[in-house]
Amino acid sequence: MGLMNIMLFHSTYGLTPAVHAAAARLRDAGHEVRVPDLFEGHTFDTVEEGMAHKDAVGKDELLKRAVLASAPYSDQGLVYAGFSLGAATAQTLALGDAKARGLLLFHGTSDIAENASVDELPVQLHVADPDPFESHDWLNSWYLQMRRTGADVEIYRYPGAGHLFTDPDRHDYDQAAAEQTWKVALGFLATL
């Protein structure tokens, strides 16, 4: 219990003020937080613009940037966290880092490699219900696959919330769901 070293990855909107605000909230709780800018200064007002940029940069390059940002700190035992696209990135890195202390996912998941294996990695996912990017069938399959890797998984669903409901700058923002998410997430971090 105590101070965690958190690597927090932004969504397809880029490194926006909301991501900095989330990092500040985590720092206020006593954690050390880094927010790498995988889009190198670009931010976007729409999902479509962000996705186009992501596709132009390429998945492999974004993952390389995430690995390079995390590598200098991975020996400390990182908690990987992220929003939507950033959650997918965080998941990929956490499943590949034997020293990862935890995985905190907001609004997103990713495919899981067949050979992925972890030693009781604590994982917490916060997701809208329903979520246009995370169907119930997908989440059920994801949960079973994550359990198969050896992860200890908790899923929190927020009925009626929009996809990126913790981001106060987006139309899907849901203050009640966001506050509940942060309360549960900070509690999760305190147990690691």
pLDDT in tens, 93-118: 999 999 999 999 999 999 999 899 99
What is the structure's pLDDT at 123? 98
CA distances from residue 19 to 69, 114, 141, 167 in whole angstroms, order as listed: 16, 31, 29, 8
Q: Is the pLDDT of residue 188 over 60?
A: yes
pLDDT tens-digit readout, 68-80: 999 999 999 999 9
Model pLDDT for residues 30-86, shown as the tens digit of each residue: 999 999 999 999 999 999 999 999 999 999 999 999 999 999 999 999 999 999 999
pLDDT above 70 (res 2)? no
| Residue 179, both tokens | 């506050």
CB contact at 8 A, 68 and 7: no
pLDDT at 1: 45
190: which residues sit within 8 A by CB, 6+ positions away? 1, 29
* Residue 20 confidence (pLDDT) above 60: yes
Average pLDDT, the chain: 96
Tell me, yes or no, if the pTM score tops 0.85.
Answer: yes
Number of domains within the chain? 1
Q: Name the residue range of residue 39's domain.
A: 3-189
Residues 6+ apart with CB under 8 A from 35: 8, 9, 10, 15, 19, 20, 23
The pLDDT tens digits of the residues spanning 134-178 come to 999 999 999 999 999 999 999 999 999 999 999 999 999 999 999
| Range 1-4 contact pairs with CB under 8 angstroms and sequence separation of 24 or more | 1/190, 1/191, 1/192, 2/30, 3/30, 3/31, 3/32, 4/31, 4/32, 4/79, 4/101, 4/102, 4/189, 4/192
Percent helix, strand and coil across the chain, each to the nearest 5: 45, 20, 35
Helices (H) and strands (E) in the chain, counts: 6, 6
Question: What is the average per-residue pLDDT within 14-18?
Answer: 98
Give the CATH number of the domain where residue 55 resides.
3.40.50.1820
